[in-house]
Amino acid sequence: METRILGKDLTVSAVGLGCMGFSHAYGAPTSEKEAIRLLRRAFDLGYTFFDTAEIYGTADDPHVNEELVGKALADVKQHVVIATKFGLRFDRDSGKVPLPLVPDSRPETIRRSVEGSLKRLGVDHIDLYFQHRMDPTVEPEEVAGVMADLIKEGKITHWGISEATEDYLRRANGVCPVTAVQNRYSMMARHYESLFPVLEELEIGFVAFSPMANGFLTGKYGKGQQFDPQTDYRAFMPQFTDEAVSENAALLKLLYDMAAEKKATPAQISLAWMLCKKNWIVPIPGTRKEERMAENAGAAGIVLSGDEVNALNEALDHMKMSAVFGGTAFSK
């Protein structure tokens, strides 16, 4: 697979693998044996960028995702970039589904988190360490100061911010240069495009999570789709309702038409659309199916011209769409 550079010097595969779904939010967790097999298969397919977090787990084992990634990539860790995250915990006492999130980026919390992640991943440093969400009680300069210290200590080499805003990003970057932001981005969720000029100015990469609107843009989901509300967050996502399938008919047609023209799939077009916009955008679709991994990797080889990207943008700008899941509620 082709590679891209995040920030000034972090080389990653053009498409990364979001690892969360193996153990969290998309149905019952995958068995350890199968998850490790699939993670290794992703490496064989050309993926060198793997994204996890300390909270991508279950109530019984909240850190399992990092452990899976660490085990699967143990003997190739010198050839991959692993991103993980700090600064969130689940409110498991609320009784709500999806579980509300509680931000915590106090320096002492970050220190505990980085040590735990290093151990679970089985590495001596973290390649890309993301603040999972901004903490309104901790100033960005303070978080960035801790990141600068961790870089000096050799515990991390690069850092980033997930769901970053311009003001927070500029303030943090002024203390310790940010390599990437990781924000929600897809044809159905484009609100962070306003941040693109800032990223170009500061030479910061963009890691796009949920690049296919939690799978909806694959075109594989129709009316009557059922998800387990206890384990699958899609049961509560507005884009998967029967009404949304009708509302998004024009969007799906747009994808299928372009896919036919390019001899590709709708999923590949939804990824190629952002890959061909900027050479510093790296999507991280998640999947637990080997054939989908290969399909997503293939999107890196699909070329859309500037005119084709602009035509898609124009169509999206004037297209009726349903609401789309935009994030998990924060616990007050």
Give strand ranges (E) for 14-77: 17-18, 49-51
Which listed residue (26, 56, 168, 185) is catalytic?
56
Q: Which two tokens stand for residue 42?
A: 């992703």
Number of helical H runs and strand E runs in the chain: 11, 12
Query: Among 321, 220, 228, 332, which Cα is nearest to 267's?
Result: 220
**DSSP bridge pairs for 85:** 130
* 56 tagged catalytic: yes
**Contact (CB, 8 A) for 268 and 295:** yes
**Contact (CB, 8 A) for 3 and 14:** yes
How far is 185 from 209, CA to CA, in rounded Å?
6
How far is 186 from 220, CA to CA, in rounded Å?
16
**Contact (CB, 8 A) for 298 and 268:** yes
Q: How far is CA 182 from CA 12, 130, 131, 185, 198, in A?
A: 14, 8, 9, 9, 14
Please tell me whether residue 197 adopts helix, strand or coil conformation: helix
Q: Which two tokens stand for residue 190?
A: 């484009």
Tell me the residue length of the chain. Answer: 332
Q: List active site positions.
A: 56
